[in-house]
A and B are shown apart, each in its own frame.
Chain A
Amino acid sequence: MVRDTNRHFKFDWITIILFLLLVGFGWLNILSASHTGTTINYFDFSQPFGKQLIFIFLTFGLIILLLAVDAKFYERFSSVIYIISMLSLVGLFLFGKNVNGATSWYAIGGMTIQPSEFAKTATALAVAKYISDLNTNINSFKDQIRTFIIIIIPAVLVLLQNDTGSTIVYGAFFFVLYREGLPKYYLTIGISTLFLSILSLKFGAIITSILALILVVSFHFLSKKKLRVFQSALILIAAFAVSFGVKFFYQSILQPHQQDRISLWLRLEKDPEKLEQMKRTFAYNLNESEKAISSGGFTGRGFLEGTRTTGKFVPEQHTDYIFSTVGEEWGFLGSAFVVVVFVLLLLRILHLAELQKSQFSRVYGYGVASIIFIHFFINIGMVMGLIPTIGIPLPLFSYGGSGLWAFTILIFIFIKLDSNKINEW
């Protein structure tokens, strides 16, 4: 059955409505977090909320452009887009502008552009293109390596620019690869490494190693699936290596501020004096944002009524900590609403991706959902103190033109691809 032959209405309106909801509600909160004084001039373009209004306005032009381009264009030119994007990241080392310790911006006139935001979209296109190639078999080790290289290049480039948060986002592609047939042991290794690292940091390498020993030995003798002795031994050695290696990684490779964040998250610091000091310094944002959210209560203090928001208690509240404004002014109802809208958007994209007939569209759709999911998980998790502080924006919500446009491009390319699936035979 043909879904809808009318060209103008074949776009997935559910996704578009959810997108608009987030952008609109996001702007209200940026207004709250950045306005000063009692009277508000909505068109004061020197203020973040005014600038964001321009960004949103320009976004509509961008959307029309994205939807007007032929769907095939994105697949055909994905390699070119990827290469241009990578060059723009390399170019940062020469022409980049340093903001807050990260060299992630080009300054053009009065505006700044963050190419790393766009690189995610480019990478998603490239990965989709490579995997959907008929010659690629994700189960072969050679193709796995090649796919990893596509992902690793931008990840390393942004890491070198001191933008750790964006690097972690590239981990999102694990979901994509796994969906497309990456062997299961990657998942096992990934999850085990994460668990062992956390256990080792929290309880020490020796206890973790003993625990690993008990687990591996009991698994070896009790499991129906018989492993050979040397296989089990190998696993054990790897577990020991992780247990002891993570300490080294933590102490020698991580920078002090990263150590502090992990130490606070895992409650490694027991000295109350030191904890108090942490709360005043690097954990200040987190502490204040949790307090702001908590003070919202069930129904919130109301739009523009948050005392912590008005008093600018949470630094960077209009960017990475925007969710704390939602928490304070809109309360549990508003915050849960935002979470639900995000979940619906992600599930909708996921659902559409599974419906795609072309593998390129499906992989790309998966990429879109994964990237947004990682942002959503890390940003809100951080603002509520569930995971260590990692500075990345909340998609469509946080202040910033590059971020808004990058996510608009990411989502609307997929909407365009989806609208075109009727022609995919």
Chain B
Amino acid sequence: MRQFLLFISIIAVGLVFIARLFYLQVYNSSGHDLFEDNAIRKVYDYPKRGFVYDRNGELLVANQPSYDVMVIPREVEPLDTLEFCKLLKIDKERFINKYKKAKHYSPRLPSVFVSHLSKEDYAVLQEKMRKFQGFYIQKRSLRNYETTIGANVLGDIGEVNNAIIRKDPYYKMGDLIGKQGVEASYENTLRGIKGIKFIQKDRFNRNIGPYKDGKFDTIPEQGKDITITIDAQLQAYGELLMQNKRGGVIAIEPSSGEILAMVAAPTYNPNILVGRDRSKNFTKLYNDSIAKPLFNRSLQGVYEPGSPFKLMNALIALQEEVLTPEETVTCYAGYKYGNRFMKCHCNRGTRNDMIGGIQRSCNAYFATTYRKILDKNGNASDGIDTWSKHAKSFGLGNFLGYDLKVGQKGRIPDRDYYKRIYPKTFYSTYTISNAIGQGEVATTPIQLANMVAAIANRGHYFTPHIIKNIEGETLPEQFTKPKQTTIDKANFEPVIEGMLQVYKKGTAASLQVKDIDICGKTGTVENFVKIDSLKTQLTDHSIFVAFAPKDNPKIAIAVFVENGYWGSRFAGRIASLMIEKHIKGHTTRKDMEEWLLKHSLENEYAKPYSGEPFRINGYTTLQIVEEQEYYKLKKELNRINKAEN
């Protein structure tokens, strides 16, 4: 047996070695991934982020350089912390915290240590950087807004978070990504593709040379410039008129679906979300849960549409042939159904045909119309489905499919919806509020603007969109192919005539613009909030929709002003001015502009939070802005008006 000791030892050692090799190289191998290989330094070359232009070629968003101090914790050598902190202008505690956080994220991957150095700090630091092993300076490009408007459209870029990095390995710690607006929607177009250089390191962390002569290196692909559909002047004008109000304005070009202006009020200056103060300012905006400046009211605000929805009911009635335009309904200053009564502004005994009904916004006329639609076949459930189908063909009750990331579906109820509320019996009178755009129907401003665009086009619409042109690309078909509604072209004429009469002698007669035939519809919407679990009514929302000119329309617009009282008071004025501005290129009614600048609704918005009892609608007085604020706004107005000429 003695001769076997060495023999067995050799075999055993051989097997143990192969098992160990298997464990190290096959089972637990670190693999060949160049990105995982810490013998290879990865140097990223960030491309220029694409510029953003408005529809007239005005540069809105450009770039500015910025410098981040990055750290790779594993490569950090003992250093003079005091000097380093002094150079970075941070205290030691922050230094330790940042270092721990970076190490926790990954000891071998770079993390941002201090972001957005000023040019002066960068210049000083750069000379001393070699003293701090494991730290380096990464040049990045930040946004530079050439304008103060359109924060909700343009959006912003910010550092990627861990969730994004996990989902898309393109992004590395400290990379910037579009967070909102077009920056988010067109992230891949704007960002380009960063280049990468693989550099062979030695064990002293020195560069020896390019890995494999740069065989795997890539050069950055520049971000593409984009042109958006926004008219910067109209946008600026809209934002100015909405100062000290809350709500949304959407203007669409009916013939293309291009969004001309998209105002959400209140808004903020996009420049405050750039650079070192970004997170501070963002937190401030984010935490403002009352005014909600980050909430894009024109896309996300869900409101009962009010009277503008009567247009929809008129169209459905004509399509379903439940009445003719000439048929009249007598209004008894309201509409009686069962033992209930819906009030109306008409004089008792007014006889309205369709044009008159629209022009005077007669509740009785539309209550009758709505009931006729639902009761057409004697079954209100069938009727509500037919009604719902027509309304939905205008893009209501669902996401429109536009190219911005935020939105709301709104609501167009149907049989299933009411089945849950009224499981047993269902009559048309149960939902009579829908006749006047209140009750269960709910829309966002952009949906309503799109509905008006479809009316302006007499039956079709283009999906609203913000992108006008991408360098060297054509727009996707979804934005260039018209979508047909279920209403025949002929049925639009009486409704449009009614909308024209709204301006000529109806609820918006005071808002006429010389030489332009505007078709519009006012809306005044009751609204409620809960204050201490008590349903409390607030001053009505002021709503207005319009398109112009009547023939060959250039603009369709929807304006929502929260708690602005009646439709033509705030929303109508703003719509009228913006239409004039867009079509004529200048405005003639300086007094109307000044009226809007001068009046604020801030005290109206403060009421529900005051804790005091308050009165609404007719019992309120308008708040006049302070002189200083007024001059500021006036100056801005002059600037905009001058720029146009």
Contact = CB atoms under 8 A, between A and B. Distances in A.
Interface of A: 38, 175, 178-179, 181, 187, 288, 290-291, 293-298, 301, 305, 307-308, 310-315, 327, 331-332, 335-336, 339-340, 342-343, 346-347, 350, 354, 366, 369-370, 373, 376-377, 380-381, 384, 386
B7 A347 contact: yes
Given A295-B31, A311-B203, A335-B25, 18 more contacts: A178-B2, A179-B5, A187-B5, A288-B203, A295-B29, A296-B25, A312-B202, A312-B203, A332-B25, A335-B21, A336-B21, A339-B14, A343-B11, A347-B10, A369-B10, A373-B9, A373-B13, A377-B13
Interface of B is mostly: helix
Nearest to B17: A339
B18 interface: yes
Interface in B175-213: 200-203, 208-209, 211-213
B621 interface: no
A239 to B, nearest CB: 23
Contact of B10 (A301, A336, A350, A381): A350
Which of B13, B22, B200 gathers most chain A CB within 10 Å?
A: B13
Contacts of A370: 6
A308 B6 contact: no
Contacts of B3: 179, 354
B79 to A, nearest CB: 15
24 contacts: A179-B6, A293-B21, A294-B25, A294-B28, A295-B31, A297-B25, A297-B30, A297-B32, A307-B40, A307-B211, A308-B39, A310-B208, A311-B39, A311-B203, A311-B208, A313-B39, A332-B21, A332-B22, A342-B14, A347-B10, A354-B3, A373-B13, A376-B13, A386-B17
A38 to B, nearest CB: 7
A311 B201 contact: yes
Nearest to B209: A38
Contacts of A305: 212
Contact of A373 (B10, B17, B26): B10
B78 to A, nearest CB: 11
B20 interface: yes
Contact of A311 (B32, B200, B213): B200
A373 B10 CA distance: 7
A365 to B, nearest CB: 11
A294 B201 CA distance: 18
B24 interface: yes
Interface in B148-165: none
B29 A296 contact: yes
Contact of B30 (A178, A294, A386): A294
Contact of B18 (A187, A327, A336, A381): A336
B68 to A, nearest CB: 26
A384 B24 contact: yes
Contact of A313 (B2, B16, B30, B202): B202
Nearest to B5: A178
Interface residues of B, number: 36
Contact of A293 (B25, B31, B202): B25
A-B complex: 8 closest residue pairs judged by Cβ atoms: A307-B39, A343-B14, A332-B25, A297-B29, A311-B39, A313-B203, A175-B6, A294-B24
Contacts of B211: 307
B10 A346 contact: yes
Nearest to B40: A307
Most buried by B among A293, A294, A343: A294
B37 interface: yes
Contacts of B208: 310-311
Contacts of A331: 25
A422 B3 CA distance: 22
Contacts of A291: 30
A333 B5 CA distance: 28
Contacts of A346: 10
A327 B2 contact: no
Given A294-B24, A298-B25, A307-B40, A350 B213 contact: no
Contacts of A295: 29-32, 37
Interface in B1-59: 2-3, 5-7, 9-11, 13-14, 16-18, 20-22, 24-26, 28-32, 37, 39-40
Q: Which of the listed residues B6, B16, B37, B209 has the most CB atoms from chain A within 10 Å of its own CB?
A: B6
B20 A384 contact: yes
A305 B39 CA distance: 12
Contact of B24 (A293, A307, A373): A293
Contacts of A377: 13
A339 B21 contact: yes
Contacts of A297: 25-26, 29-32
Contacts of A380: 17
B550 to A, nearest CB: 72
Nearest to B20: A384
A346 B6 CA distance: 10
B5 A310 contact: no
A299 to B, nearest CB: 9
Contact of A332 (B26, B37, B209): B26
Nearest to B31: A297
B196 to A, nearest CB: 15
A187 B2 CA distance: 11
Contacts of A313: 39, 202-203
Contacts of A310: 39, 200, 208
A370 B10 CA distance: 9
A383 to B, nearest CB: 10
Given A297-B25, A332-B26, A384-B20, A373 B6 contact: yes
Given A310-B208, A313-B202, A294 B29 contact: yes
B202 A386 contact: no
Given A179-B3, A347-B7, A315 B25 contact: no
B215 to A, nearest CB: 11
A347 B10 CA distance: 8
B541 to A, nearest CB: 62
B356 to A, nearest CB: 83
Contacts of A340: 14, 18
Contacts of A350: 6-7, 10
Contacts of B32: 295, 297, 301
Contacts of B31: 295, 297
A291 to B, nearest CB: 7
Contacts of A327: 21, 24-25
A352 to B, nearest CB: 13
A181 B14 contact: no
A325 to B, nearest CB: 13
A336 B25 CA distance: 11
A307 B32 CA distance: 10
A361 B287 CA distance: 90
Contacts of A181: 2
A77 B645 CA distance: 114
Contacts of B30: 291, 294-295, 297
A319 B40 CA distance: 24
Given A340-B14, A342-B14, A298 B20 contact: no
Contacts of A298: 25-26, 29
Contacts of B14: 339-340, 342-343
Nearest to A187: B5
B26 to A, nearest CB: 5
A73 B32 CA distance: 54
A294 B18 CA distance: 13
A210 B17 CA distance: 33
A311 B202 contact: yes
A290 B213 contact: no
Nearest to B2: A179
Most B CB contacts (10 A, CB to CB) among A339, A347, A370, A376 go to A339
A148 to B, nearest CB: 19
B108 to A, nearest CB: 11
A342 B9 CA distance: 13
Contacts of A288: 203
A370 to B, nearest CB: 6
A230 B456 CA distance: 115
